[in-house]
Structure 1
Amino acid sequence: MEKRPNALQTNANLTAPPAYGQPAAYSSYNMQPVTNVTVVRTKTNNFLGMAIFVTLCCCLPFGIVGIVYSVDSSSRFDRGDDAGTLSAASSAKNWSIAGLVCGIVFIIVYIILYATVLSTSYPSYY
């Protein structure tokens, strides 16, 4: 008895039929070229140093708010939110500048009051 291959065994050696409209010499799978895209993002200034300086030297409440916005700016940059990064950095800068101005005004007012009112209110025994 002669063994004959079945239909599945004979079709396994054949190649796939050509795609519609293509000659048999071309493959139906077209490989696309690989492109690598490198996105370069520059980190914006988050004004953390300025906020820490304002917190330590000038005005504590404004400096703390500036630090919070500065850290928020850094975390938004890490998440990829560029618009949120710029917004939080701008808020940190504004709060830090406001604290710096308030601290300088407070120091100037204190010096003026000390020079005029406080120094004359205590009697001098020397």
Structure 2
Amino acid sequence: MKYFIVENNQPAGPFEIEELVRKGIKADDLVWCEGMEQWTSASNISEIMAALNRCPGIPPVMPLNMNQPPVYKTEQEPAAPEQVVSTMPAMPNTWLVASIIVTLFCCAPFGIAAIVYAARVETLWQTGRYEDAEKTSGKAKKWTLIAFLSGFAFYALYLVSMFTVFSNLKF
């Protein structure tokens, strides 16, 4: 079977699988062949992945797991890639800087939990797991606020207790 690929934002091909491997196709490159409704990543084509895994000099690249691949109008030839409408949402706030600051200055146990969640947000977003990235961002925010508020409460109680102790001292 012969496949089209995207080169310089233009469809190129058709190419046999061996030609694609020689051209250095990666698992996350977009491909299309006759009979397909839309472009898809090479990782979704078992024959291409099998050829990539057979070639020791060309390691397969793990694909970005896009929830919705780009949609092209296909008849005989694939549509130009610039017609693709991007459905990639903006990356949610990671809360990493805030979580590090509250860990250092407020409350380390809750801050560490915030850092763990904050560090996961970007990776989830880059792999196309947008809903998981949103949820993890929410958890990072929650733990950052808990760390800040618990640290604030601790320092407030400390100041009140010190004020009470020093006000009761008699010189």
CA distance in 1 between counterparts of 2:93 and 2:114 reads 13
> Aligned-pair distance for 1:57?
0.7
Task: List runs of 5+ in structure 1 lacking aligned partners.
Answer: 1-29
**Aligned residues, how many?**
94
CA distance in 1 between counterparts of 2:117 and 2:149 reads 18
CA distance in 2 between counterparts of 1:55 and 1:116 reads 28
Which residue of the partner structure matches residue 57 of structure 1? 105
Cα distance change, pair 80–33 in 1 and its aligned pair in 2 (3 A): closer
**After the TM superposition, which of the residue ranges 31-40 and 95-104 deviates more from structure 2?**
31-40
CA distance in 1 between counterparts of 2:78 and 2:125 reads 32
Q: Is residue 109 from structure 1 mapped to residue 154 from structure 2 by the alignment? A: no
Which residue of the partner structure matches residue 34 of structure 1? 79
CA distance in 2 between counterparts of 1:33 and 1:70 reads 40
Which one-letter code corresponds to 1:34 in the other structure?
Answer: A
TM-score normalised by structure 1 residue count: 0.67
> Aligned-pair distance for 1:49?
1.2
Higher strand share: 2
> Aligned-pair distance for 1:41?
3.5
CA distance in 2 between counterparts of 1:65 and 1:42 reads 24
Alignment of 1:8-87 (within 5 A): 31-36=76-81, 37-39=84-86, 40-87=88-135
Higher helix share: 1
Task: List runs of 5+ in structure 2 lacking aligned partners.
Answer: 1-74
Partner of 1:103, secondary structure, is: helix
Partner of 1:92, secondary structure, is: helix
Partner of 1:115, secondary structure, is: helix
Partner of 1:43, secondary structure, is: coil
Which residue among 74, 88, 97 is the counterpart of 2:136? 88
Q: Which has the higher contact order (CA 8 A, sep 6+)?
A: 1
Percent of matched pairs sharing the same residue: 28
Which one-letter code corresponds to 2:96 in the other structure?
Answer: L
